[in-house]
């Protein structure tokens, strides 16, 4: 299982020791602790720029720049040309005051008309860090998901990707630049255990140096098979959504950034107007084709709250991780400052608080992520 404008040239992760590490020592620190330096930097930059909310206009295409409470379907609806073609087909469904069974049936029928057939992915329209993502195989499963969403909440039904491998591509472009660049590239892997015909799933997870650290997390997502003995050679994926906070494994892949891949990303992102900063979650066929910028299927596009997720590589150094986070928010302030000069007005702090409360309230209703 060193340019001031970009983190690409920062020091590479420390080489592995003779005893391979399961995680970096800070990988599962509380979020508030990792982001404490960012908070101090944010306050300092806010004083310098005379605005506490300047980063919230870095991406004018998205409310609050995609920092919190952003709608996935509203952003993807803005995609044109190459960008629209690269995004996996999806359907937006707003939960109504009707029986969940009736809604599930209608949702599947509408999805089929767009070429989206079971099994497909179902996820919240508003949410982050993989919350509420489910792999739907049956009408009953979709009914169960819809039944827990409050009236008016939105969800997306999205076609399964053609490929299993996934990569997070952090993309940045200054509005005055003709082309952008890939600031971070990270492989996202869902952990898998292999049966031996003797041990239960719980025992197999407990025997894995990394997975054992997240035992409770994996138990929650694998309750139905937790005490089941896997056949010899049987592979079991512990989760579906490749989110780090859900237990996925991230590996720094910046060595695979090539001119061809950068050109392909620029061609795609040129067709998403007024988007300058964020991360694309992308499925790909092989590393070779990825380096060539081919066979790219976009699962999702994330805005200002995105991370340069190579910081969660087990070999990453804390100094480099903090440096990457500080670079991110410094970049957001620079982009926001430019947009303000163009006449875009930063929102009030109250707008951010309202969006955060709305997302938090919705997230409480989402089903357990696969």
Please write the tens of the pLDDT for every residue from 165-212: 999 999 999 999 999 999 999 999 989 999 999 999 999 999 998 889
Instruction: List the one residue out of 208, 166, 197, 155 whose CA is nearest residue 367.
Output: 155
Please, are residues 182 and 195 in contact by the beta-carbon 8 Å criterion?
Answer: no
- State yes or no: cis peptide before 89, omega within 30 of 0: no
Model-wide pTM > 0.95: no
- On whether the 89-160 domain is CATH 3.10.20.30, my answer is no
Q: Residue 213 pLDDT > 50, yes or no?
A: yes
The residue behind tokens 């952990």 is 191
Q: Which long-range contacts (CB under 8 A, 24 or more apart) does 78-81 make?
A: 78/272, 78/273, 78/275, 79/271, 79/272, 79/301, 80/271, 80/272, 80/273, 81/270, 81/271
Please write the tens of the pLDDT for every residue from 306-337: 989 999 999 999 999 999 999 999 999 999 99
Q: Which residues of 318-336 are buried (b: 16+ CB within 10 A; e: fewer)?
A: eebbbbbbbbbbbbbbbbb
Q: What is the C-alpha radius of gyration for the chain, rounded to an integer number of angstroms? A: 21
Q: How far apart are CA 252 and CA 358, in angstroms?
A: 33
The token pair that represents 152 in the structure block: 């008016």
Size of the chain, expressed as the number of residues it contains:
370
Q: Residue 15 pLDDT > 70, yes or no?
A: no
Q: Measured at the alpha carbon of residue 61, what is the angle toward residues 59 and 66, in degrees to the nearest 5?
A: 55
Q: What are the residue boundaries of the structural domains of the chain, listed by start?
A: 24-88+163-190+239-350, 89-160, 192-236
Q: Which CATH superfamily is domain 24-88+163-190+239-350 in?
A: ATP-grasp fold, B domain (3.30.470.20)
Q: How confident is the model at residue 131 (pLDDT cuts 50, 70, 90)?
A: confident
Which one-letter DSSP state was computed for residue 244? G
Q: What are phi and psi of 87, to 5 degrees?
A: -75, 130
The residue behind tokens 């430019």 is 338
């Amino acid at each position: 299982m060193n340019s001031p404008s970009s983190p690409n040239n920062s020091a590479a992760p420390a080489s592995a020791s003779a005893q391979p590490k399961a995680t970096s020592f800070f990988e599962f620190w509380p979020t508030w602790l990792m982001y404490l330096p960012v908070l101090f930097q944010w306050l300092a930059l806010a004083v310098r720029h005379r605005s506490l909310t300047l980063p919230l206009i870095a991406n004018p295409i998205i409310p609050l720049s995609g920092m919190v409470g952003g709608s996935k379907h509203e952003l993807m609806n803005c995609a044109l040309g190459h960008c629209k073609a690269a995004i996996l087909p999806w359907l937006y469904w707003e939960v109504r005051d009707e029986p969940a069974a009736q809604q599930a049936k209608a949702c599947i029928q509408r999805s089929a008309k767009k070429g989206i057939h079971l099994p497909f992915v179902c996820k919240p329209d508003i949410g982050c860090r993989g919350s509420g993502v489910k792999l739907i195989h049956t009408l009953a499963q979709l009914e169960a998901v819809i039944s827990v969403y409050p009236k008016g909440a939105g969800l997306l039904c999205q076609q399964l990707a053609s490929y299993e491998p996934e990569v997070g591509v952090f993309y940045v472009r200054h509005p005055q630049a003709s082309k952008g660049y890939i600031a971070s590239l990270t492989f996202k892997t869902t952990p898998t255990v292999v049966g031996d015909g003797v041990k239960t799933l719980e025992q197999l997870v407990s025997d894995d140096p990394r997975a054992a650290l997240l035992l409770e997390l994996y138990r929650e997502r694998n309750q139905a098979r937790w005490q089941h003995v896997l056949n010899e050679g049987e592979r079991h994926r512990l989760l579906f959504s490749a989110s780090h906070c859900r237990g996925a494994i991230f590996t720094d892949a910046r060595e695979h950034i090539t001119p061809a891949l950068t050109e392909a990303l620029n061609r795609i992102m040129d067709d998403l107007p007024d988007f300058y900063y964020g991360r694309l979650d992308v499925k790909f066929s092989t590393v070779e084709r990825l380096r060539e910028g081919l066979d790219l299927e976009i699962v999702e596009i994330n805005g200002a709250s995105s991370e340069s997720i190579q910081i969660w590589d087990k070999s990453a150094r804390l100094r480099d991780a903090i440096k990457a986070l500080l670079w991110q928010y410094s970049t957001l302030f620079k982009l926001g400052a430019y947009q303000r000069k163009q006449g875009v007005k930063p929102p009030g702090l109250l707008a951010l608080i309202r969006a955060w409360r709305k997302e938090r309230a919705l997230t409480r209703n989402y089903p357990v992520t696969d």
